[in-house]
Structure 1
Amino acid sequence: MLAGASSPVVNGAPGPVSVNGNGQRSGGQRSWVNLFRGGKVREDAGSLPFFVPAVVNGRRVAFCPPEELEEEKDKWDAALIGYVFGPRPLFTAMQRFVKEKSGHVGGGEVFGLESGIFVFDFQGSDLSRQILDEGPWTLGIRPLILRPWSPEISLTKKEESELPLWVRLYGLNLHYWGERSLGQIASVLGRPICVDRRTSQRERLSFARLCVSIKASDGLPTTILLTQLYGSLVEQSVHYDWTPPLCSVCKVFGHIDNACPVAAINNTEGSGESQPEAMQVEDGWK
């Protein structure tokens, strides 16, 4: 045994140890309580009260006070929850977005969560509604999904059944550039949202660029049919600024067929292997 090391207790419990007013044990050693008193954690953290947990159906339940939940909810009523579909962007890119949209009214804050979700605090419900109304937003070529925060919403990313996507129609003939004709073309793909400025002003005739909300169940067609002036049909190519991963099995954007968990379960069931029962959880994104 090393010199100076404490001897182990072999038989019975150690006797009581007295501690003086300076936190010193008898024999000149400091107590463990005193060693941690005033440490970093204690300095930075706030104190928490203890409540005896209730037990419901054999499980402990935290009954959070409704009045406090309501008070905290009011602090975030103007917040938006969002994420960029696909790989997580740099936090600085989200900070630039907030500065551009709220700098004229004093700015806002953005918080990044581990799940890839961003919380945007614009500190005013009018500005939040304006930002939502001016959408859809993209970061680069990928959709920025924004929704109002609510207590029911889940702070985790989800796979979407519908996404706003920018579409390019290369070589679109000149007589199709009217507002109603472009609306008809966009409606073949999904729900029309808008055209870009250069398309609206006819400043660039090499392609028309439309934003369309497209359902995963409708797929991402690469060609569509248009009627000609006298009733015949012509095929028009369709290009996407960004093509999200699409699963034709469960009809969502976010993964491809080969990585589909539903297809994997179906294949396993077909092979006779047993699978644990899955629980479907509503995540609050609508």
Structure 2
Amino acid sequence: MQQQLDKVMEEADGYMESLEKQENPWVNLFKQNRLASHGMPLKYIPPSIVDGEIVVELDKAEVEKENAKWRCALIAYVIGEVLGYKYMRRYIDRTWVDVTEPELFLHEKGYYVVKFQDIGDMKKVLCSGPHTINNKPIILKQWSAHLDFEAEFLTEIPLWVTFPNLPMSCWGSDSLSRVASAVGHLTFADECTTKQTRISFAYMLIEVNVTKPLPAMENVIDPNGIKFQQDVAFDWKPEYYGQCLKIGHECPPPCAPPPPNEQPNPAAQPE
């Protein structure tokens, strides 16, 4: 019943979004953007000359101050679809109800920056995944100052990974880190894994490179030299298409070569 209700709400949101695009286009939000009275006064700071080239040197204190403003932010990308701003806004308001309303910013490259009020809210949303909208996965990744969206974000993706029947001797923080590092870069373990309140499997958020095959098993050797195989399972596996260098995008099949011209068989010709 709840799934049917969510579907109806999503369809209604889609209809409302189409109306809003007609009545209040996104560009109208910035109509007054270039008025001097709305802008920031700046001053001339001459660049440096290094090895005969003009180089802009940034102030460390100011850069750190600006970075600090975004340390509670997540990058959100919906695979296979660029959602309208108001559609995404409604989704957040209706779904992430356990956190203070975050700020939302749309980048022209098709992803959103969701800026939370504090680290706790950010981690709460990140830990509660995986998230979907219109049956499409939402990739969430913590913002970083040096994030290159095109080069990194669509290949290095945080995925929830399950390690079924992991021996209890491997549940220490160092052992969990080693087990997870064979898959990718560990972000954190969920609360049940951390507190060992659920012992049938360990559950961790790991940043993996989806351009490479995702493992279904890994080899582990304990301090006594005993080797065992540990199963690895993913909540979902994004499909990466090498031809288009994209995830969630089906490359068109290559065109079949034209059939060779058939030459008439002289023996088959009537005399």
Match of 1:94 in 2: 92
Residues 148-188 of structure 1, C-alpha deviations (whole Å, 9 max, x = no match): 599x998x9x9711111111111111211111111111111
For the 8 Å contact 1:143–1:164, the answer to whether it is kept is: no
Could you say what the CA RMSD is over the residues aligned between the two structures, in angstroms? 4.9
Amino acid at match of 2:211: S
Cα 1:153–1:203 shift into 2, 3 Å:
closer
Cα 1:88–1:222 shift into 2, 3 Å:
farther
Shift of 1:235: 1.1
Residues 103-135 of structure 1, C-alpha deviations (whole Å, 9 max, x = no match): 2xxx4444779986445466xxxx377766777
- Aligned-partner SS, 1:231: coil
Once the two structures are aligned, what percentage of the paired residues are identical? 22
Match of 1:163 in 2: 157
1:209 is aligned to 2:203: yes
For the 8 Å contact 1:99–1:108, the answer to whether it is kept is: no
Counterpart Cα distance in 2 of 1:162 and 1:68: 42
The correspondence for 1:184, drawn from 165, 169, 178, is: 178
Amino acid at match of 2:168: L
1:193 is aligned to 2:187: yes
When normalised by structure 1's length, the TM-score is 0.49
Q: Number of paired residues?
A: 193
Shift of 1:216: 1.8
For the 8 Å contact 1:167–1:240, the answer to whether it is kept is: yes
Shift of 1:243: 1.7
1:145 is aligned to 2:143: no
Residues 224-256 of structure 1, C-alpha deviations (whole Å, 9 max, x = no match): 11113421321111111122123356765434x
When normalised by structure 2's length, the TM-score is 0.51
1:243 is aligned to 2:241: no
For the 8 Å contact 2:161–2:203, the answer to whether it is kept is: yes
Counterpart Cα distance in 1 of 2:39 and 2:95: 29
Counterpart Cα distance in 2 of 1:112 and 1:168: 32
Counterpart Cα distance in 2 of 1:97 and 1:205: 29
Cα 1:161–1:114 shift into 2, 3 Å:
closer
Residues 52-108 of structure 1, C-alpha deviations (whole Å, 9 max, x = no match): xxxxxxxxxxxx979799649xxx99676532446678743312466543x2xxx44
Counterpart Cα distance in 1 of 2:37 and 2:148: 18
Which of 1 and 2 has greater Rg?
1
